[in-house]
Structure 1
Amino acid sequence: MEASKNYNMIDFPKLVSLYLEDKKDDYKNFPIDLFPPQVSNYMLELRDKVGCNPNYMAGAFLNAGSICIGRSKGLYLRNTWKEHAVFWAIIIGEPGSKKTPSTAPFFAPIKKIQSDLLKEWKEKLKAHSPDVSEEKPSEPTMYVGDATIEAYIQKHSQNLRGVAIIMDEISGLVANSGKYNKGSDIEKYLSAFSYADISSTRKGVGQSSSLFNPQLSIFGGIQPAILTGLMTDSLINNGFWDRFLFISGNFQTGKMTLEDVSTNVSNDYDSYIKGLYELVSETEFIKENGDLNVDYYKMNPEASRVWYDYNSKIEDMINDHSELSSNMKSAYSKLSTYFGRFVLLMHILDDVYKYPFQRLNDCEVTPQSVEKAIRLVKYFMFQYELISKDVSAEKEAKNILFESRGMTTKEKVLLLHSKAPEMSQRVLAKQLKISQSLVNKYLK
Structure 2
Amino acid sequence: MDVVALLEKARADGIQIEVVDGELLIEATRDKKHWLEKLRPHKQEILANLEGVDVDANSENVEEDHSCVSVNAYRTFPIHCLQGVVGEFVAAAAKAIGCDAAFIALPMLCCLARAVGNSRVIRLKATWVEPAILWAAIVGKSGSYKTPALQAVMKFLEKPQARAIAEHKDALQQHEEDKAVWERAYATWKQDKKTTEPPPSAPPEPVLKRFATSDCTIEALATLLAGQFDGVLVQRDELAGWLNGIAEYKGGKGSDLGHWLACHSGASLTVDRKTGAIKFIFVPRAAVSLLGGIQPGILRSAIAREHMQDGLCARMLFAMPDPRKVVWSDAVIDPRTEAAMTELFDTLFTLEPQVNDEGESEPLPMDLTPEAKATWVEYFNRHRAELVDLDDDLAAAWSKLEAYTARFALIFQLCSWAEEEAKSDIIDEVAMSAAIELSDWFGHEAKRVYGLFVEDQGDRERRELVELIRRKGGSVTPRDLMRCCRRFKTSKEAEVALQELVEAGLGSWEFDDHGGGRGQPTRRFTLVDSVDSDTNAVNPEEKPITVSVNGVNGSPKHLNGQSPGGAI
In which range does the TM-score fall when normalised by the shorter chain? 0.7 to 0.9
Say whether the 8 Å CA contact 1:339–1:374 is kept in structure 2: yes
Give structure 1 stretches of 5+ with no counterpart.
1-9, 15-23, 398-415
Give the aligned residue type for 1:180. Answer: K
Say whether the 8 Å CA contact 1:343–1:373 is kept in structure 2: yes
Residue 187 of structure 1 and its aligned partner are, at CA, apart by 1.9
Tell me, yes or no, if structure 1 residue 365 matches structure 2 residue 427.
Answer: yes
Aligned to 1:426: 465
Change (3 A) 1:369 1:423: same
Any idea what the Cα deviations from partners look like across 1:91-128, whole Å, max 9, x if unmatched? 00000000011121111021110121121122112112
Aligned to 1:381: 443
d(CA) in 1 for partners of 2:332 and 2:105? 21
Give the aligned residue type for 2:219. Answer: E
Tell me, yes or no, if structure 1 residue 168 matches structure 2 residue 237.
Answer: yes
Classify the secondary structure of the residue corresponding to 1:136: coil
Say whether the 8 Å CA contact 1:51–1:255 is kept in structure 2: yes
Give the aligned residue type for 1:346. Answer: F
Say whether the 8 Å CA contact 1:53–1:99 is kept in structure 2: no
Residue 253 of structure 1 and its aligned partner are, at CA, apart by 6.7
d(CA) in 2 for partners of 1:69 and 1:12? 41
Say whether the 8 Å CA contact 1:73–1:294 is kept in structure 2: yes
d(CA) in 2 for partners of 1:93 and 1:13? 20
Q: TM-score, normalized by length of structure 1? A: 0.79
Say whether the 8 Å CA contact 1:390–1:427 is kept in structure 2: no
RMSD value over aligned CA atoms? 3.1
Superposed counterparts of 1:54-65, under 5 Å: 54-65=101-112
Tell me, yes or no, if structure 1 residue 114 matches structure 2 residue 185.
Answer: no
d(CA) in 2 for partners of 1:37 and 1:189? 33
d(CA) in 1 for partners of 2:439 and 2:295? 23
Superposed counterparts of 1:31-430, under 5 Å: 31-128=78-175, 129-130=178-179, 131=182, 132-177=201-246, 178=248, 180-181=250-251, 184-202=255-273, 207-251=279-323, 254-277=326-349, 279-280=350-351, 283-284=352-353, 287=356, 289=358, 291-318=360-387, 322-350=388-416, 352-355=417-420, 361-393=423-455, 396-397=456-457, 416=458, 423-424=462-463, 426=465
Change (3 A) 1:428 1:64: closer
Classify the secondary structure of the residue corresponding to 2:206: coil
d(CA) in 2 for partners of 1:133 and 1:361? 43
d(CA) in 1 for partners of 2:68 and 2:339? 44
Q: Which moved more, 1:53-62 or 1:169-178?
A: 169-178
Say whether the 8 Å CA contact 2:222–2:282 is kept in structure 1: yes
d(CA) in 2 for partners of 1:13 and 1:330? 21
Classify the secondary structure of the residue corresponding to 1:231: helix
Give the aligned residue type for 1:294. Answer: P
Say whether the 8 Å CA contact 2:79–2:91 is kept in structure 1: no
Classify the secondary structure of the residue corresponding to 1:168: strand
Change (3 A) 1:364 1:260: closer
d(CA) in 1 for partners of 2:328 and 2:120? 39
Classify the secondary structure of the residue corresponding to 1:167: strand
Q: Which moved more, 1:174-183 or 1:185-194?
A: 174-183
Say whether the 8 Å CA contact 1:12–1:385 is kept in structure 2: no
Aligned to 1:409: none
Change (3 A) 1:204 1:349: closer
Say whether the 8 Å CA contact 2:263–2:288 is kept in structure 1: yes
Residue 216 of structure 1 and its aligned partner are, at CA, apart by 1.0
Q: Which moved more, 1:255-264 or 1:332-341?
A: 255-264
Classify the secondary structure of the residue corresponding to 1:217: strand
Classify the secondary structure of the residue corresponding to 2:362: coil
Give the aligned residue type for 2:95. Answer: D
Give the aligned residue type for 1:75. Answer: I
d(CA) in 2 for partners of 1:86 and 1:253? 33
d(CA) in 2 for partners of 1:141 and 1:374? 31
Aligned to 1:410: none
d(CA) in 2 for partners of 1:142 and 1:108? 11
Say whether the 8 Å CA contact 1:47–1:254 is kept in structure 2: no
Higher strand fraction (1 or 2):
2
* Bigger Rg, structure 1 or 2: 2
Say whether the 8 Å CA contact 1:54–1:252 is kept in structure 2: no
d(CA) in 2 for partners of 1:285 and 1:168? 34
The number of residue pairs the alignment matches comes to 390
d(CA) in 1 for partners of 2:121 and 2:325? 34
Classify the secondary structure of the residue corresponding to 2:454: helix
Identity of aligned residues (%): 22
Change (3 A) 1:231 1:341: same
d(CA) in 2 for partners of 1:176 and 1:202? 19
Any idea what the Cα deviations from partners look like across 1:176-198, whole Å, max 9, x if unmatched? 43473566112210122122222
Give the aligned residue type for 2:133. Answer: V
